[in-house]
Amino acid sequence: MYARILVPVDLGNTDKLSKALSLAAQLAKANDATVVYAGVADAVPTMSKVTEGERMQADLDTFAEAQAAEHGIKTADHVTLRRDLHLNVGSELIQSAKDTDCDLIVMASHMPGLKDHIFSSNAGYVATHAPMSVYVVR
């Protein structure tokens, strides 16, 4: 049913992603699908020779390899650079799913707070605007 499953990953908060990661691995096993772990890095200039995107790519490579070993699934990863720092990352996640030919997005969410009633959440934006299926895990 699914061939490629995108899972947005915030490497600084992987402890909050366990349900989404587990679900994506189960779906990947059941469908012989590849899980694509996606990260979004800010495209801002730095004084370092290594850009934020390159640093994230290396960390995401390691994360994807660890998930493949832990769950026995095929994995890939993809980093997108966020150009507009004032917007949420939802549009970049949708573009990542398109760029990597994903037909499902499995995304972690959190309990909505006051801020979420004023600003759109990333999961809400993705679920509303993505042209592919979206599974939001709370």
Q: Along the 138 residues of the chain, how does pLDDT read in single tens digits?
A: 899 999 999 999 899 999 999 999 999 999 999 999 999 987 766 666 557 788 899 999 999 999 999 999 999 999 998 876 556 789 999 999 999 999 999 999 865 554 444 456 788 899 999 999 999 998
Phi-psi region of 125 (alpha: psi -120 to 50; beta: other; left: phi over 0): alpha
Q: What are phi and psi of 85, to 5 degrees?
A: -70, -10
- pLDDT for 136: 95
- pLDDT for 18: 95
Residues whose CB falls within 8 Å of the CB of residue 63, separated by 6 or more in sequence, listed in order: 9, 11, 14, 37, 77
- pLDDT for 117: 45
- pLDDT for 114: 46
Residues whose CB falls within 8 Å of the CB of residue 37, separated by 6 or more in sequence, listed in order: 7, 9, 60, 63, 64, 67, 75, 76, 77, 78
| 71, two tokens | 């769950």
Q: Kindly report the CATH class assigned to 4-137.
A: alpha beta
- pLDDT for 112: 53
- pLDDT for 48: 61
How many CA atoms lie less than 13 Å away from 75 in the CB half-sphere? 22
- pLDDT for 137: 95
In the beta sheet, which residues pair with residue 129?
none
- pLDDT for 75: 98
Residues whose CB falls within 8 Å of the CB of residue 8, separated by 6 or more in sequence, listed in order: 38, 39, 40, 89, 93, 96, 105, 107, 108, 122, 126
- Sign of the dihedral defined by the CA atoms of residues 47, 48, 54, 58, in that order: negative
- pLDDT for 110: 65
